[in-house]
Chain A
Amino acid sequence: MARVDLKNVRKSYGTVPVIHGVDLTIEDGEFVVFVGPSGCGKSTLLRMIAGLEEINGGDILIEGERMNAVPPAKRGIAMVFQSYALYPHMSVRKNLSFGLETARAPKAEIEAKVAKAAEILRIEHLLDRKPKQLSGGQRQRVAIGRAIVREPRLFLFDEPLSNLDAELRVQMRVEIAKLHSDLGTSMVYVTHDQVEAMTLADKIVVLHGGVIEQVGSPLDLYNNPANIFVAGFIGSPRMNFFKGKAVAGKTLALEMAGTVIPVPLTPPAGLTDVVLGVRPEHISIGGTDGVLLGRATIDIVEQLGGQTIAYGRFADGQNVTIVCEGQKQIAHKQEVELRALPTLLHAFDGTEKRITA
């Protein structure tokens, strides 16, 4: 287990900065997920912790020890690559033992550690196979096994599930969560899939353009996103954003497509343009609970069995997505009244920051 501190960590490729001074602490035994769109710098940051990318500024500390110039193998970390990076010419057993053999560990110790890792991942029967004889899921297990035998103080995962099909991804996700609870080792996990982030993380770090947008627990990010980017990135389907004009008064209210929507917040001074954020699952069709958002025409309805997802438009052309529990019958082009509980409404100011007061 290890605590990791990133202090004003910076990285540039030539003159192009890609990580702009990141400060972050990963506590002992914590499962931290770096999440963000492609090119946000999440993999670069992970590789900097691994020592695979040089850092141009700041410090990386593992258990208080400065790691900037320490080679990857001496950092006490293990990494699982997106491509698995298994050695294709070696058997699974050799893949697992390569690092220990390199470190000249005693043979008996190597055998014991390989056997233990194989048992944890249930790959004992695959030990004498070559990687090409394994399925995607099995390769993934071997890649994780290779990390386990090193008994690292920190695990790094770089989008490890992105090459697996949907079903296997869910299965492996559960296994990684179980592995974390069994081993109790600190883990840093990179993904662009916010569902993976929400389900696995103790702490999510949302990155955008090489900058940390917000750090927090999954539910904290879901309930209290710091800005429009985080609000849109966390949650699936993504949050609805409606543009409106602030209506003068002591309590925040905005006017959208002829409807005035009160939001139980104090408006900051000089507020004119407001973006209202409402999660699709917080909008109800019809009923009397909550405040009226307006009337929308439904264009497309998707029946998922357990849920119904409807896509529609307000009179001013703004799109809206609604998620209803169960199998809701909504006709094509039907005009519906949309409502939401005021406490579940989010409002963002002109700088895209969430209004919290």
Chain B
Amino acid sequence: MASIAQPSSGLGQTVRKSLPAYGFLSPWLIGLFCLTAGPVLASLYLSFTNFDLIQTPRWVGTANYERIFTNDPKFIAAMKVTFTYVLLSVPFKLAFALMLAMALNRGIQGLSIYRAIFYLPSLLGASVAIAVLWRQVFAGDGLLNAVLKWAFGYQGPSWISNPDYALYTLVSLSIWQFGSPMIIFLAGLRQIPQDMYEAASLDGAGPMRQMFKITLPLLTPVIFFNGVIQTIEAFKAFTPAFIVSEGTGGPVDSTMFYTLYLYLEGFAYLRMGYASALAWVLVVIIAFFTAFSFLSAKYWVHYDD
């Protein structure tokens, strides 16, 4: 009687079958564990220590966190600046991106060229070079003031040296990088079936009513996605503030972004433990915002399925 062949060992066979897959994944896995997960966990440990990069970390318990929340006026200042930046740059950037996406979605000729041109700032925007350029444009004797003087005879202030304007200059730099959300909005707009608009026009809805009753509700999944991504990006913003303020967060801490403060604590003052604690507080803040976004989504995001 023929015997039925039994699998030698279920688990062993599964592992053997998966080995080639893990082999191909190994560069990414090594990167994940050594360059991302390892440092992340190390920073969690360091946040409970005093560490100046030279001596061995010294365990201080929750002292770093206590200081953050009870005895650090700069933390409060950085939070104010960062929250102002997030609350201004994200809605304005999204609104601007959506507006342009809607304009591009009207079936204009040469769409791909315009799309590429509008996307360019996003490719360049986060770079050091553009931040340097931005500094030149918004300086007291910069391009913007030259144009203002030529066009209106108005001598503008130094937009980056004046604490009243410096942050808003950085907000405008952020809005200028609207390309990525614009492309995603454009893809989202193209997903809305044309017959939805035809049905709405038969129902007597004009362009504005179509936008508020059809386009925006049907675009909410994309608005939600862009909102979450851009909020996280805004909380993490660093390069523009670092370059424009020349690494000081000035004038008068007006561009002291949270990440810049974190960087100064870690790499300028060599308080790595404290910087790690600041980083983990930022993680919790971002996680809170993201969780809040997801919880609120069921009240305003319309998924088709």
Contacts and interface: CB of A to CB of B under 8 A. Distances in A.
A85 interface: yes
Interface in A73-92: 73-74, 77-79, 81, 83, 85-89
A262 interface: no
B195 A98 contact: no
Interface residues of A, number: 23
B218 A81 contact: no
Interface in B203-222: 203-205, 209, 213-214, 217-218, 220
Interface residues of B, number: 20
A78 B202 contact: yes
Contact of B199 (A71, A74, A85, A103): A85
B204 A88 contact: no
A50 to B, nearest CB: 7
A283 B218 CA distance: 56
A78 B202 CA distance: 7
B218 A52 contact: no
A73 B201 contact: yes
Contacts of A71: 201
B302 A52 contact: no
A162 to B, nearest CB: 14
A99 B210 CA distance: 12
Given A132-B304, A132-B305, A85 B204 contact: no
Given A98-B213, A102-B209, A132-B305, A87 B202 contact: no
A29 interface: no
Residue in A81, A86, A87, A146 whose Cβ sees the most chain B Cβ within 10 Å: A87
B193 interface: yes
A264 interface: no
Which 6 A-B residue pairings sit nearest by Cβ, starting from the closest?
A: A99-B203, A73-B204, A89-B302, A85-B199, A85-B195, A89-B217
29 contacts: A50-B202, A52-B198, A52-B201, A52-B202, A72-B201, A73-B202, A73-B203, A77-B202, A78-B202, A79-B198, A79-B202, A83-B193, A83-B195, A85-B198, A85-B199, A87-B200, A88-B304, A89-B218, A89-B220, A89-B302, A98-B200, A98-B205, A99-B204, A102-B205, A102-B209, A132-B305, A146-B199, A146-B203, A150-B203
Interface of B: 193, 195-196, 198-205, 209, 213-214, 217-218, 220, 302, 304-305
